[in-house]
Chains A and B, each alone.
Chain A
Amino acid sequence: MDYGMMLSKLGGGMVTTVVIFGLTLLFSLPLGMIVAFGRMSKGPLVRNLTKIYISIMRGTPLMLQIMMVYYGPYYLFRIQISSSYRFAAVIIAFAINYAAYFAEIYRGGIESMPRGQYEAAKLLGYTKGQTFLRIILPQVIKRILPSVTNEIITLVKDTSLAMVIAVMEMFTISKALASSSTSAIPYVAAGIFYYIFNYLVAWTMEKIEEKLNYYR
C-alpha cells in the first residue's frame, strides 16, 4: 500500500476525530449547565431524575452507551437504522455522557461559591439572572477550569471509542490500515496524532487559565 493513500486516509480520520471532539464540546458544555440546574433543582422529581441520569452516565461504560444510542432505536422500536445515523449516534452519546460529567463539575463549582457573594448581590438589587451571569458564573468558570481541562483531555482519547460502531475516525482507520498493510506505522501515526492533539488542547486551556489569573 502506498504511503500517499495511507496518509490521505489517516487525514480523513483526523478530521472526523476533531469534528467529534468539537461537536461534543459544543453540545455537552451548555447541556451540562442545564443538567446541573436540574440536579440542584428544588423540585424533588427533577432533582432525582437528573441524579439517576448522571449516575447511569458515570456508572456505565461510554462504549456501551454509544452502542445503546446506535442500536437502541432498532431493538426498542424496530426502527431501521441507516448508516448515516452512525455519526449522529456518536455525537448524541458523547454529548449526553460528557454533559453528565460537566454537570457535576459545574454543580461543585456553583455550590462552592460563598453565600456572601449572593447576599451582596441581593442587597445591590441584582436579579437572580444577573447575579448568576455577572457575579457567580465568571467566578465558577475560573474555579472549575482545571477539572474541565481534565475532562476535555479525556475526551480527546475517548473519541477513539467511536470505533465500536465503525465510525471512520482516526483510530478506526489506523486499525484497518494496520491490518491491511501488516504494518505498525498507522498505529504510530495515530499515537503521534493523539499526542499532538492533546498537547494543543492542554496549551489552549493553559492560556485560558492564564487569562483568568488577573484576580484571585
Chain B
Amino acid sequence: MKLLEMKHIRKNFDGLEVLKDISLTVEQGQVLAIIGPSGSGKSTLLRCAAMLETMDDGEMYYLGEQAVASVDGRSVYAKPSELRRMQGYYGLVFQNFNLFPHFSVLKNIMDAPIHVQKREKKEVESQARALLEKMGLGDKADAYPYQLSGGQQQRVSIARALAMNPKILFFDEPTSALDPELTGEILKVIRDLAAEHMTMVIVTHEMNFARNVADHIIFMEHGVIAWQGASEELYTSNNRRMQEFLGKFE
C-alpha cells in the first residue's frame, strides 16, 4: 500500500526554484533515504511532505487520500479538517530536536497524545514509559531537556513522535547536530525501527547507514532527483555526479 505519494512537486523561494518536478512514493514498511549535497532541496522536500511549507505545484496523497491537488499548474490544498486528519499520519524528527524546554521528558512525550488525540492518560503514560525504556532513557522520565545530551534529546524527540502512533516517520538529518560519538546511538534507534518495519523517510549524510538500512535511495541535486535506485546499487551505479558526491564521504 502506498502511504505517501508525491507527484510533480514544485517549490520556489522568492523566484529561486528549489524543487523542480519531484515525484516519489513511499510504500508501507519501506525505508527511503534521501541524500545529496547541502542546498539541493532535501529539507524543503521533507517539509513540503510534512506540510510545514506549501508547495507551488504538484499533488500529494497520504494513504490514497488527496491532500494536495494540482489545478491549472497550482497546488490546491484539501480542507483544513481533512489536512488535520492527514497530519496525524506522519511525524517528523528535526535536526535540532525542538523539544519543549518547559516540559519534562515524560510530558514532552505525553502532552500531545493526551491533549491532541484525547487519549487516556494512563494508557499514554504506559506507552511513553515503554518508549523511553526502548530508547534507553528509562531513568530520564523526570529530567528536563536541558539536562540531557544531544543524543538523548534526539531520542526523546523520536519517542515523542512515536507516541502519536504515526504511519510514517520523517527524519531531517537526525544526527547532523550531534557530536560524532553520539550519532551511533541515534542510528541504532532508527535501525531498530526499520527492523520493526516502521515506514520512514530519512534525509541523511550517513552514506553507509543509508546503504545498509534503506530499501530505496534518492540522490538529489539542484532540486531534482538526479538518481534513484535500490540501496544495494548505491556504490555500483554509474551516475557520475553521485559517485563524485559519494567520493567526498570516503
Contact = CB atoms under 8 A, between A and B. Distances in A.
Interface stretch (B13-21, B65-73, B109-117, B224-232): B109-117
B190 to A, nearest CB: 18
Which of the listed residues A120, A122, A126, A139 has the most CB atoms from chain B within 10 Å of its own CB? A120
Given A125-B84, A125-B116, A215-B146, A120 B100 contact: yes
Given A124-B164, A125-B88, A216-B101, A119 B94 contact: yes
Interface stretch (A78-86, A88-96, A101-109, A130-138): A130-138
Interface in B91-138: 91-92, 94, 96, 98-102, 111-112, 115-117
A214 interface: yes
Interface string B147-186: 0000000000000110010000000000000000000000
Contacts of B204: none
A120 B146 contact: no
Given A119-B94, A134-B111, A125 B164 contact: yes
Nearest to B157: A120
A142 B102 contact: yes
Contact of A138 (B84, B91, B96, B102): B102
Interface size class of A (residues with CB under 8 A): 10 to 19
Contact of B102 (A119, A124, A139): A139
Which of the listed residues B99, B100, B160 has the most CB atoms from chain A within 10 Å of its own CB? B100
Contacts of A1: none
B209 interface: no
Do most interface residues of chain A lie in helix, strand or loop, or is the interface mixed? helix
Given A119-B98, A123-B52, A134 B144 contact: no
A170 to B, nearest CB: 39
A126 B146 contact: no
A120 B115 contact: no
Contact of B98 (A116, A134, A215, A216): A116
A215 B100 CA distance: 10
Contact of B117 (A125, A214, A216): A125
A117 interface: yes
B101 A123 contact: no
Nearest to A216: B146
Interface string B18-53: 000000000000000000000000000000001010
Nearest to B166: A123
B52 A124 contact: no
A119 B52 contact: yes
B144 A215 contact: yes
A6 to B, nearest CB: 50
Nearest to A125: B116
Interface of A: 114, 116-117, 119-120, 122-126, 130, 134-135, 138-139, 142, 214-216
18 contacts: A116-B96, A119-B98, A120-B100, A122-B52, A123-B92, A124-B91, A124-B116, A125-B88, A125-B116, A125-B117, A125-B164, A126-B112, A126-B116, A134-B115, A135-B100, A139-B102, A215-B144, A216-B101
Interface of B: 50, 52, 84, 87-88, 90-92, 94, 96, 98-102, 111-112, 115-117, 144-146, 160-161, 164
